[in-house]
Amino acid sequence: MEEKELERLLKGIRGDPKVKKAIERLDAGYGTYKDVNTIALQTGKRIADEMAIAYDEAALVRYLEAGHGIIAMSAEAAQTNLNAAAKIGIKPMTTKTPSYKIAQTVAKISAVEPEVIPTMCENILPSFMLEMVDDITKYNADFQKDSGLHPIIRRTWSGMYGSHDTRHTDNCEQMAGEWEYGDEPPETYYRHEGCRCTVEYFPNKYAEGQITALAKYEVARNGELGAKEETLERRLADAQRRKKLDRKLGL
């Protein structure tokens, strides 16, 4: 029963239109941490919806652990894309399942009155999943900075809040910005309940430019050829197309 419930949840997450689009971008080679943030946010929302129907503490732990697995795989794909764009041969890094943080989050939700749980889940869980992305982002940025690179961190204010709570609007808006990793203020990674801000990372400015150019090229090519039936993996493996793309990007 537990496995069926988990599979139903994962199927629902994978079937979400925004998640499907983000996965397509990651598979196509131009998805970034922006797409990972999208997947994390939608995953958190889906889990919150499940808990609003019938709260189950043990099930929530399993769902959050599975959510981390989805995010970790998505982040690995994004990091692979970014490393390729930056022309660096560093292996993507990921984090272990944050069991302690999951336990803390579940305990916090379980401690409130039953009628408050749906609102708590709506506010806390999407932000918690985004925090998992933040942890992976920092892990990769740390490693690459120690390797002599100059990673870029960007926090973007989304203007979105759980339960329509706008008390933190000014603070979140003021915390938005872009820095070389290590120069960002500590509050860059701060998240209040209901926070929907995103934190992105690029190995360097060159990688961001390359990944943006690749995205534009792929979108234009798909429109011209109607290549929806052609698999992304086959197109990416096409050496001739790769050489043509490199020439367009001046590589």
What is the pLDDT at residue 36?
A: 95
pLDDT, residue 249, reads 45
- Give tens-digit pLDDT for 192-215: 878 888 898 888 776 777 777 767
Residues 65, 110: Cα–Cα separation, whole Å = 17
- Residue-wise pLDDT tens digits, 148-191: 888 889 998 876 555 545 555 567 888 899 899 999 998 898 88
pLDDT at 29: 87
**Model pLDDT for residues 79-136, shown as the tens digit of each residue:** 999 888 888 888 888 899 999 999 999 999 999 999 999 999 998 999 999 999 999 9
pLDDT average, residue stretch 15-42: 92
Would the CA dihedral through 139, 143, 144, 148 be positive or negative? positive
What are 44's two structure tokens? Answer: 């958190």
Name the E strands within 141-249.
152-156, 177-180, 198-202
Q: What pLDDT is attached to residue 148?
A: 85
Q: What is the predicted pLDDT for the residue at 227? A: 44
**Hey, what are 77's tokens?**
């794909």
Measure the CA–CA gap between 136 and 151, rounded to whole angstroms. 14
CA distance 107 to 75: 27
